[in-house]
Amino acid sequence: DATGIAAIWNHAIDETAITFTTQRKTVPGLQADIAARGPCFQVFEIDGQVGGFATCFPFRAGPGYAFTREHSILLDPAAHGRGAGRALMAALERAAKAEGVHSLWAGVSGENPAGVAFHARIGFAEVARLREVGFKFGRWMDLVLMQKFL
């Protein structure tokens, strides 16, 4: 799945402001992430092809944050409107909860109102808006922090 995930993620990195990073994902790096995260790396397929993914990872370093994770979710445009996002997040939340996660965070670009709305629909609450903390495509962007207790 790493090749399909890389294609979706790198498209978002190269072409959109939904992620602030400019560092492209590699297949070997994703293979390592998938192996390390196990059930906390969920994939959605459409006709045998990767249509999207959701994963979670440590929120911050240190033992005090052991039960808090941040997540990423990205869909291929062909997967939009099929319930894939909800299904991926439900599976990811189950896996995270099984690992003892108490609090799940989303960092959503302020330029992605659909992402903010999606997270609100599945039970995330906006807890902060960090003004102009992201910089990409020659402009400053806000980061919306959203949280859900599992």
Residue 17 main-chain phi, psi, to 5 deg: -105, 15
Q: Which residues contact 97 (CB under 8 A, 6 or more apart)?
A: 150
Rounded mean pLDDT of the chain? Answer: 96
CA 76 to chain centre: 13
Q: What is the pLDDT of residues 93-106, one digit of tens each?
A: 999 999 999 999 99
Tokens of 146: 């959203």
Site of tokens 């997967």: 79
Q: Does the pLDDT at position 78 exceed 90?
A: no
pTM for this model (two decimals): 0.94
Distances (CA, A) of 56 to 47, 128, 131, 141: 25, 20, 24, 23
The stretch 67-84 carries a mean pLDDT of 94
Q: What is the pLDDT of residues 44-56, one digit of tens each?
A: 998 899 999 999 9
